[in-house]
Chain A
Amino acid sequence: QKEVEQNSGPLSVPEGAIASLNCTYSDRGSQSFFWYRQYSGKSPELIMFIYSNGDKEDGRFTAQLNKASQYVSLLIRDSQPSDSATYLCAVMGAYKYIFGTGTRLKVLA
């Protein structure tokens, strides 16, 4: 079992819809969770982080964390073609960050 798992996609959504990206992790001791956006050929860019159970909203983005079920998700409201990218989930456990391999999102105009 991979330590951080994401569906590789592509996840295709129409412009204006809600995109829902999911990530599961195996280490119950993980404390901090991050979402990065990576455009093709570019480096990852931090878009959200969440440390506590529940929801955290920032503009069109909402991160959701459920430690009991060991999953973290990212919702993108009013998706735009410019949101088309690969989204990486990262989990920080004891002394280590672990990245998922990413979900490719395509927003169709």
Chain B
Amino acid sequence: DVKVTQSSRYLVKRTGEKVFLECVQDMDHENMFWYRQDPGLGLRLIYFSYDVKMKEKGDIPEGYSVSREKKERFSLILESASTNQTSMYLCASSLSSWGGTGTYEQYFGPGTRLTVT
């Protein structure tokens, strides 16, 4: 079974703090993703990575950065947390890169509910 783990289930931070969210997958997947999920807005892609040290902006990258130093680990960084970044953050991974003949299903971690006060 694919396992995607996230460092914290719940997190409370203050405005202006630097926040690190960690994600680890154990299935040697190529692609990793960070989403946030808000009521009525669905899942929105923040960043994704298709290889070590590679990253691509998603739909809402502003205020976030990412790091992928090892294949199994993908970190999301909030440089200076703001109250509008209060959300559920979901990490996902998938096996194959785009355009290949492999499988593309995404598997999600349990999520981190971040509250910024």
Contact = CB atoms under 8 A, between A and B. Distances in A.
21 contacts: A34-B106, A42-B110, A42-B111, A43-B90, A43-B108, A43-B109, A43-B110, A44-B43, A44-B90, A46-B106, A46-B108, A88-B42, A92-B104, A94-B98, A96-B45, A97-B106, A99-B42, A99-B43, A100-B42, A101-B40, A102-B42
Q: Is the interface of B mostly helix, strand, loop or mixed?
A: loop
Interface of A: 32, 34, 36, 42-46, 49, 88, 90, 92, 94-97, 99-102
List 4 tightest A-B contacts by C-beta distance, closest first: A101-B42, A99-B43, A43-B108, A43-B111
A23 B98 CA distance: 23
Contacts of A45: 108
B62 interface: no
Give the interface residue-count category, chain B.
10 to 19
Given A43-B111, A44-B108, A88 B43 contact: yes
Contacts of A100: 42
Contacts of B104: 32, 49, 92
Interface of B: 33, 40-43, 45, 90, 98, 104-111
A31 B68 CA distance: 27
Q: Is the interface of A mostly helix, strand, loop or mixed?
A: strand
A36 B108 CA distance: 10
Contacts of A101: 40-42
Contacts of B105: 34, 46, 49
